Every structure is written in structure tokens, then in C-alpha cells.
Chain A
Amino acid sequence: MGVDLQQLKKGGLLKQVQKEFFSLRLHIVGGQLTFNQLQMIAQVSKDFGNGEIHLTARQGVEIPFIKLQDFETIKNKLAQVGLEPGACGPRVRTVTACQGCKICPNGLIETKEFSKKIDEKFFGRDLKCKFKISISGCLNNCLKAEENDLGIKGCMEPEWLQANCIFCGLCEAICPVDAIKINYENRDVIFNPQKCIKCGRCVTSCSSDAWKGREGYLLLFGGRNGNVITRGKQVVPVIYKEEKVLSVIEHTLKFIADYGNNEERFADILQRVGNSQLQKYLKEVLESE
């Protein structure tokens, strides 16, 4: 019986050097696993593989040395703990994410639930090329937004609240781009929004609540990290609503469907047709409330 490797790849089975075995990729969202899931992964590896488990570069898990004939049994076992095979090939891949503001003291946005939302809406959707999405909770950028087709970074637009300020000088000292200047004599703060990179440090550090922050999403488009490396670029302004990020992703995938050639990576499409074309395409979404 002939085996359709493309079809297997779509279902998370990747062929190995050893022809009789496959590496089974699992569908993981934002690098989150539970005790029960890890236990089941270990059990499957022991019972059906060779006892090894591989952690992939994009927060995934692969169980190597799986035989095709065991695939259905394994699938059923994994389903008991809410796991399923992952995706490979020309489609939306694993959404990677850091632990975000609910766990990490640096985090500016929530990432766990958000990555689930993105995954539910887009994971596995067939495209002309692979499409990788990552979410970093802040500008520390642990999930390397610029290496992804669409990288999301949490950011914060600061606003100074004069009434609360005690002019301690901390925000001026820690601003990485010198966007804050304090005039001690006039008891005034001169904030330069053009210089500000929205890292939120002034907001998270201030112990007098003199800086208020508005959570935002900074989007980078068209990154990739393979044989040819392209850094994702910011082509639209910071977005302040989660739902709007979801519609931007939706429209970006439509853009790829409309403008892309088969197997052409998003970075190449943008290089060929220009970022301004994407900007035009997203204009309607961005201007809507």
C-alpha cells in the first residue's frame, strides 16, 4: 500500500531517516502542558516509541520512532488528555507564546488565553505556505517576533499623571530611549512620544502610580528564520484591541491567499508586492472600531 507522506505530514507524522518510523508532532499551544498530558506523552513514548521525547524549537513536542500502524491507537490515547497530533506543511502552525503578564513580572499583556484564541481560530488552516505566529508578552521579545510570519509583542503606551508624581526620577533613569525628561525646578515631566518604544518600564516601575499604561499589540509581518533569513517588519501602527489583532490575522491570511504563489513564503510575497500593498489591504480593519 502506498503511503501519502504529505497527508501524514498534515496529520503531524514526520518521516524519519529510518524509513519504518515516524516522528509524531503534537499540537501544543503557547508551550502549555499539564501534568496529565506530560504523563501520557511519556507513556506513549515508552509504549510505542523508543522512550525518547524531543522538544522542538517552537515549543512543540515530538515523539520519535512511532510506527504507522500504531497511529490510531496513539491518537485515541492522546485524546484522553486533550492532546492531538500537530501540523506540518503549508498551513498555520503552532502558536508559540511566553507565560505573559499572569506569570512573568515583565509581561505587559495576557498571552495564555490569547494564544488559545488565535490557535482555535487559525491553527491548521491550509495555506499556500507555512505560517508561524508567536506572542511575546513584552518587548523583551522572548518569542522572537521578527522570526515569525506574524510576530506579536505586548507593549504599553504610557501616560503621565501629574497629580500622583513625586518626582523621584526613576522613570527618567530607566527609560531605555531617553523619552522622559524631568524638570525638577518646574516640577514637570517632558515626555517624548516619538522617542517612546512603548516598553512600559516607566509604568511597571513607578511606585507612585504616576504613569498609567494602555496595553497594546505591536505586530511584525513577514519574518522567517531558515536558509534565507528575513526580519519581520512593523507595517501597521500598534493595535489596542485583541479582537482587532484577530481580524488583522484573518485579513493577512486572505492577503496571502490573494497575492501569494504556491509555496511562496509571506516574506517573499511582501518583498515582491511591497509592504504598502499589505497596508492597503489591512486599512479597512485598522480603521474600523
Chain B
Amino acid sequence: MNDIKADAFVDITDVVCPTTFAKAKVAMARLSEGQILEIRMKAGEPLQNVPRSFKEEGAQVIKVIENEDGTYTAFIKKAG
């Protein structure tokens, strides 16, 4: 179950590495500290690297949900 309220949403399933993180990062840049970004991404490389790259910037992964279409949705809280 998911009861997390995101402040913004970005779909990065239409781009490939390294644009996946770049696109998500641009969306995150619009948020304030402590706000939550909801990111829809493909399994595999984006799921391996995008949450980790946000971690390196001090953000925290709050929740990861597997969708029924083979994609994942990650909720990431901006550092602060």
C-alpha cells in the first residue's frame, strides 16, 4: 500500500542513461528541501542508478513500488 503524497511527478521511462538521472534531477531542482519527487522508471539500469545517484546528493529513497507494467515508481525526498 502506498499513502505517500508526492509534491511532483516525473516519468523517465522515455529516456535512456544518462538522461534518466538528468531528467529526474531537473524535476528535483524545482522542489524545496524535504519535498518528495515521484519518479516512474524502467527496471534495470534506471532503477539501479537513479535512486543511488540521488542518494549521493543526500536525498533519501522513501518508497519503491513495482507497477504492473514492468516499471517502478520511486518516491525520493529532497535533501535538507
Contacts and interface: CB of A to CB of B under 8 A. Distances in A.
Interface of A: 105, 166, 168-170, 172-174, 201, 204-208
Contact of A105 (B47, B52, B62): B52
Contacts of A201: 48
Contacts of A166: 60, 62
Given A207-B54, A207-B59, A170 B48 contact: no
- Among B53, B54, B64, B75, chain A packs the most CB atoms within 10 A around the CB of B64
B60 A170 contact: no
Contact of B47 (A174, A204, A207): A174
Contact of A173 (B47, B55, B60): B47
A129 B31 CA distance: 61
Contacts of B53: 105
Contacts of A172: 64
Interface in B18-66: 43, 47-48, 51-56, 59-66
Contacts of A207: 51, 54-55, 59-61
B9 interface: no
Contacts of B72: 173
B12 interface: no
Contacts of A105: 52-53, 56
B56 to A, nearest CB: 7
B65 A205 contact: no
A170 B54 contact: no
Contacts of A174: 47-48, 51
Contact of A168 (B43, B47, B48, B61): B61
B8 to A, nearest CB: 18
B55 A205 contact: yes
A166 B59 CA distance: 14
- The 4 closest A-B CB pairs, nearest first, are A207-B55, A169-B64, A170-B64, A207-B60
- Among A168, A174, A207, chain B packs the most CB atoms within 10 A around the CB of A207
